[in-house]
Amino acid sequence: MMDAIMGAVGGVRAAIDAVRGINAKLTAVEIAEVKQVLLERLGEAQIALGDARENLQTARDQLRTLEAEVVRLKDWSAEAENYALADTGRGAVAYLPKGVEPSPKSGAWLCPHCFADFKKSHLIPEDRGSYWVLRCHPCKFEIITNGRKLDQKGR
C-alpha cells in the first residue's frame, strides 16, 4: 500500500514540477506538450491512488476478520473453562463438562481433537460388543473404552 501511495505522491509531484515549468512565453505546441505531461502524471497518480484505496480496503477486511477471530477465541476460552479432560476408561482422554462423572455411554464427551481446533463436537457412544467406542463423526476420531468395567464401578 505504501508503494501505491508513494507512486501517487510522485505523480502529483511530477505534475507540479511540470506546472512550474510553464512560463508566459510558451507556444501553443509547448502548451500542448505540458498539458500532455500533466495528464500523464495525473493519470499515474490516479491509478496509484486507486491501488492504495484497494489495498486499504483489503487491509480493513483483514482487520475485521481478525477482530471477529479474536472475539471468537475469547468466547471459546470462556466456554472451554467449563470442560476438563477425563479418562475414558483405558487411559485415553476426552473432554467432559466439569462435574459430570465419566461414563462410556455418556453423550457429554467432547472430541479432544476438535476441541483443540476450537470446536465442540460430541463423541457418540457406540456399542461394539465387549467394549464401547466414543466416535467423533466430524473428524472420525474414535476412542475405545472398556465401558462395562466403568459401568460396574459405577463411575
For the segment 71-100, give every residue that binds Zn ion (CB under 5 A).
Answer: none
Q: 41, 121, 132, 147: which one contacts Zn ion (CB under 5 A)?
A: 121
C-alpha to C-alpha distances, 48 to 8, 66, 94, nearest whole angstrom: 5, 27, 54
Decide if 114 contacts 134 (C-beta within 8 A). Answer: no
- For position 120 contacting Zn ion by CB under 5 A, the verdict is no
Span near Zn ion by CB under 5 A; candidates 13-21, 54-62, 63-71, 141-149: 141-149
CA distance 109 to 99: 12
- Minimum distance, C-beta of residue 136 to Zn ion, in the bound complex (Å): 3
Q: 53, 105, 113, 120: which one contacts Zn ion (CB under 5 A)?
A: 113
Span near Zn ion by CB under 5 A; candidates 53-61, 64-72, 110-118, 127-135: 110-118
- For position 136 contacting Zn ion by CB under 5 A, the verdict is yes
- For position 8 contacting Zn ion by CB under 5 A, the verdict is no
